[in-house]
Structure 1
Amino acid sequence: MTDESPRQETYVEAAWARVWKTMLVRGVILVVAVAVLGMGIGYLVSGTEGFNGGAVGGGLAAVFIIVTLVIMYAGRNMGLTAIAGFLGIGFLFKAFIFMIVIWRIKDADWLDGNVAFLTIVVAVIGSSLVEAMTVVKGRVPYVDPDAK
């Protein structure tokens, strides 16, 4: 006979869920802050083109946070060291995306390149800080006594 009782979440799985939710909340706050401030300051500095530049930076901030969330979700059962390694690889992937976006928009007439560049740099640094703070402050034990 099979056991019909629902599987209970272990302490480590619950800790990873808390870390992932924390990353999600901090990521959403970062994306909203970068987008709103980038578009607002961009509009004040150079009108519609600045607004568009801020929107590009806010969009890239969202992409960066989504990459991080996917890495953390996929690696949730691999341990903190593996996730830190994957986040390092994710940082390189984000740097590659950053270079491609800068290369593609460098001559765009529909946005202010300076506003876009600065907003994207803030998005890159902000997402890296959010990742680092979340991983460092995440309290996930190495050993799961409930695991079978």
Structure 2
Amino acid sequence: MTDPTPRPETEVEAAWTRVWRTLLVRGIVLVIVVAALGMGIGWLAAGAPGLVGGAVGGGLAAVFIVITLVTMYLGRNMGLTTIAGLLGVGFLFKAFIFMIVIWRIKDATWLDGTTAFLTIVVAVLGSSIVEAVTVVKGRVPYVDPEAK
């Protein structure tokens, strides 16, 4: 029979958990800041359509962070090179989403296109910076002596 007690988390798994949680917290902060600033500046610049444009950018920032969190969660036990590759594929997927969203909202009359575009660009750059800083400063060991 199998042992019903779960095995303890290894040092590497614990390090990836810390990186994932750090990215989650930083991502939430990024989404709040992008949405609040985008909506606030959009409201001041263009009224209600600017507010909606800022909200679209904030929503897209949330989507980008969720994509990265899912990628890192799925690749947490696959090694550093695999995670780097998955994050690269995730970046390409985000670029595809960015292009689709811009294409779909370019003629929308219910939002201010300039506010939406600038907020989305800030969301893309901000999420990339948050991801890069979090992974680089993650301090995850390359070798897990406890792994079996």
The equivalent residue for 1:25 is 25
Query: In structure 1, how many angstroms separate the alpha carbons of the residues matched to 2:107 and 2:99?
Result: 14
The equivalent residue for 2:53 is 53
The equivalent residue for 2:94 is 94
Query: In structure 2, how many angstroms separate the alpha carbons of the residues matched to 1:5 and 1:117?
Result: 51
After TM superposition, which residue ranges in structure 1, 4 or more long, deviate above 2 angstroms? 1-6
Structure 2: unaligned runs, 5 residues or longer: none
Query: In structure 1, how many angstroms separate the alpha carbons of the residues matched to 2:73 and 2:66?
Result: 10
Query: In structure 1, how many angstroms separate the alpha carbons of the residues matched to 2:116 and 2:123?
Result: 10
The equivalent residue for 1:67 is 67
2:14 partner amino acid: A
Deviation at 1:60, TM superposition (A): 0.3
Deviation at 1:2, TM superposition (A): 4.6
Deviation at 1:84, TM superposition (A): 1.1
The equivalent residue for 2:135 is 135
The equivalent residue for 2:35 is 35
Query: In structure 1, how many angstroms separate the alpha carbons of the residues matched to 2:15 and 2:39?
Result: 36
Specify the SS of the correspondent of 1:145: coil
What's the TM-score once normalised by structure 2's chain length? 0.97
Specify the SS of the correspondent of 2:15: helix
Deviation at 1:85, TM superposition (A): 1.1
Query: In structure 1, how many angstroms separate the alpha carbons of the residues matched to 2:4 and 2:39?
Result: 53
Which moves more between the two structures, 60-69 or 75-84?
Answer: 75-84
Specify the SS of the correspondent of 2:135: helix
What's the TM-score once normalised by structure 1's chain length? 0.97
1:123-148 Cα deviation digits (max 9, x unpaired): 00000001100111111111111112
The equivalent residue for 1:15 is 15
Deviation at 1:5, TM superposition (A): 4.0
2:34 partner amino acid: V
Structure 1: unaligned runs, 5 residues or longer: none
Deviation at 1:3, TM superposition (A): 3.9
Specify the SS of the correspondent of 1:36: helix
